[in-house]
Each structure stands twice: as C-alpha cells, then as structure tokens.
Amino acid sequence: MNGVLLSNRVSYDPIGGYNQVMAAPYIHELPGWPDFTWDTNAFALPLARVHFRRGALITAMASLGFDVRQDTVLSVLVQDVTKSSEIEGEHLDEQQVRSSIAQHLGMDIAGLPHADRDVEGVVQMMLDATQRYDDPLDAERLFSWHAALFPTGRSHLRKIIVASWRDDRAGPMLVLSGREPKQKVHYQAPDATLVPDAMQHFLSWFEEASLDPVVQAAVAHLWFVTIHPFDDGNGRIARALTDLALARADGTAQRFYSMSAQLRRDRKRYYEILEKTQKGGLDITAWITWFIEHLQAALDAAQSVVRGVRNRQAFWDAHHDVALNTRQIKMLNKLLDGDFKSKLQTQKYAAVTGTSAASAKRDLADLVHKGILMPAPGTSGRGTHYLLITGESSSSCTW
C-alpha cells in the first residue's frame, strides 16, 4: 500500500447499514494534521488580481451616493443569507430576509413582510459576522450563531445539540447524499471527543495567524468544515466565517460582493473540491486556488448587483409619488430584484400576493393604467402576461 496508513471508516451498506471498512485516511487522520501546506506561487497571480479588484470595488462604491451604497449592501447581504441556505437545500423567503436585514440596519422596510423566526436566526448570524467583523471569534460566539440557526433545538423534525459541540451519541458525524437505503458517504468527521481541542486550536489560529487575509479565509473555511464541530449547520457557519474573514480583509462592514452566491452557482463543484481535498494530503494548494478563482467571480458579479440596485432606485425615484397598495409594492420589488422567474399573469400575481383573482386583476389593471406594467405584445385574454416598464439605463459602473 505504498506505506500509506489505513484507518477504520464507517460506510453505508444498503443491507447491513453502516459498517466499518478499511480505507485511506481522511485529511484529519494524517500525521501532522492540521499543519496545512501550499505553494503560494501557484496562485500568486490570481491572488494579486483579487486584491486589486477588491480595492477597486471598495473605491468605486465609496464614490457612489449613500443610498446606493446602502441598498447595495442590503442586496448583497440578502444574497449571502439566501444563497448560503440554498446550498444546504433550504429556501428562505427573500422578501422576509430583506425585511429582517433592513430592520436590523435601520433601513426603511415599508411594504416588506414580517420575518419568520427561522429567517431571523440566519440573518442575526450573518449580521453578527459581517457587522462585528473586528470582534474576537471564540467558542461562545460560534455557539450563539448555532443557537440562532436552530431556535427550536431541532433541525427539521430531528432534535439536535444546540450551542455546544456535537457528541456523536447517535453515531459518527457523516456527510451523506442520496436517499436510504442507497445513501453515499462522502466524508466522516473527526471523533466528537477530539472536537473541543480541535476547535480551540482553530480559534487560536483564526485570531493569531499572520497570513494573507484571502488565503486565511480559504484555509479557515476548509479547516472548519473538516472539523464539522456541530450537529448541523456547519456549512452555513463556515460561510459566515468566510464572510467575517473577508470583511476583516476589506476593513469594512459594508459588503459589496457575495461569496455564498458564487458558491451556490457552482454548488456541485464546491462539494466535489471539498470532498477531494478532505480525502487528499495536507497540501491544499488546489483548494486555495479554487477558492480564489471563485472569489474573483464573486467580485465580477458585484457589478451586476450594483447595476440592479441603481435601476431599482431609479424606478422607485421615478414612481415615488404614485399611490400603490402593499400587494403591488411586493410584486414590483420581486420583479425588480429578479425573484419572479416566470411570466406575470393574473393567477400568479394572486398566488404570490395572497389575494383573490378579482383583486389581482384590478391591481394589474391599475399598474397598467399608471404606466408601470404593460401587456406583453401578442397576448390577450386569459393568456395575457405583463412586463415591467423600467426605462433601464444602459450605463454601468466599472472597476
């Protein structure tokens, strides 16, 4: 076996359940863990580009008006919360997320719905990570994030240990995919007895390491999900840690780009590179390179976010004196934010706004009369669908 140490591993057998098998070690089982190594020369150029783009973005945003900056921060934080949850298969109501974040930041929330408790918890964690990025990271802070994520002490119907490290009383911590009885084991985390010391080591490193801040964000993300210290929520907390580390790198609580949104766009490859790295050696150059490339893509995507914010603000500036009801405002915000992906028809308007078909028909007719919507060319009767008249400017900001 080329001198490679083998270790006992839990895997799933469709007949007999989880069984111990002999397999090559995970990264946390290797001698020297967690002393990661990497070749800085392999990603020196893309890292330099990322630093230039980050600085240019922050400078460009500083030149914009206060309202545009605030609305951009709001849109980016909404992306962070919703897309990080989507990676785990959780779909949060974007308008509730927007409402919760706006309220916490002291922004106007007129026309936005009240946020449910599960939304509030995720928002509180993300805002603590990004708005208090300079505060020390310790176990109690992580426990507070975990408690916010699971306010009922349950993950769906399963009771979990909240605001404390996992204890593996129900068996080893496994990362699985698929449905029983054919679930696949992608990863087995360190034994729960090792978690307290492992997390103490990680937290000390996080506060004391003198690394390039982007490299530190990449290493922290991998290290945390490899320890997998909680019963559930490890991925979301790892991405909040990434945002905290990047906020420290940027030196500002204002978020103008979303790493979680970019990871969501490449979710399959995200899981694949994590699994490959956790089954590889202590040289994590490939993971850091991948992380930097995706951070670059997140920065590239920031331009479209700013453009959308500007168009949204221009729309409401143009219609600030138009009387609209809360249903109409809700639908228009969905259209402006790109949350409504299908054709806008009467029945869909009624479903989204929670009103009757008759009220939906009146609302839509009113919006057409006020020059906000128009019937799509070539549609009529029950097949009519509506388009938003935005008057978008072709101008854009670049950095």
Domain count, the chain: 2
What's the CA gap between 295 and 272, in Å, rounded? 17
Mark whether 166 and 260 lie in a shared domain: yes
Same domain, 378 and 244: no
Evaluate whether residue 200 is within a structural domain. Answer: yes
pTM of the model: 0.77
The answer to whether residues 286 and 347 belong to one domain is: no
pLDDT averaged over every residue in the chain: 87
Cβ–Cβ under 8 Å, residues 163 and 146: yes
Provide mean pLDDT across the span 74-83: 93
- Full DSSP string of 309-348: HHHHHHHHHHTTTS---HHHHHHHHHHHHT---S-B-HHH
Answer yes or no: do 278 and 363 share one domain.
no
Strand partners, 21: 9
Interacting residues of 90 by C-beta distance below 8 A, sequence separation 6+: none
- If you search the block for the tokens 């990322």, which residue do you land on? 50
Task: Tell me the DSSP string of 115-157.
Answer: PPHHHHHHHHHHHHHHHTTTSPP-HHHHHHHHHHH-TTSEETT
Q: Are residues 210 and 336 in the same domain?
A: no
CATH of the domain at 383: 1.10.10.10
Residue-wise pLDDT tens digits, 117-167: 889 999 999 999 999 999 999 999 999 999 999 999 999 889 999 999 999
Q: Which two tokens stand for residue 144?
A: 């507070």
The answer to whether 265 and 85 are in contact (CB under 8 A) is: no
Which domain covers residue 263, as residue numbers?
38-181+191-309
Task: Answer whether residue 315 is part of any domain.
Answer: no
- Give a yes or no: residue 298 inside a domain: yes
Contact status, residue 301 vs residue 261, Cβ threshold 8 Å = yes
The residues facing 159 across adjacent strands are 154
Binding-site residue set for ATP:
232-239, 270-271
**CATH number, domain with residue 291:** 1.10.3290.10
CA distance 201 to 139: 11
Task: Indicate whether 299 belongs to any domain.
Answer: yes
Pair 141, 273 in one domain? yes
**Residue 318 belongs to some domain of the structure:** no
Q: Are residues 177 and 286 in the same domain?
A: yes
Residues annotated as part of the active site: 228
pLDDT exceeds 70 at position 189: yes
Do both 241 and 282 map to the same domain?
A: yes
* 24 domain-assigned: no
pLDDT exceeds cutoff 60 at 222: yes
Are residues 163 and 277 both part of a single domain? Answer: yes
CB 213 within 8 A of CB 245: yes
- Per-position DSSP letters for 258-306, written without gaps between them: -HHHHHHHTHHHHHHHHHHHHTS-SB-HHHHHHHHHHHHHHHHHHHHHH
pLDDT in tens, 155-177: 988 999 999 999 998 899 999 88
Residue 7 lies in a domain: no
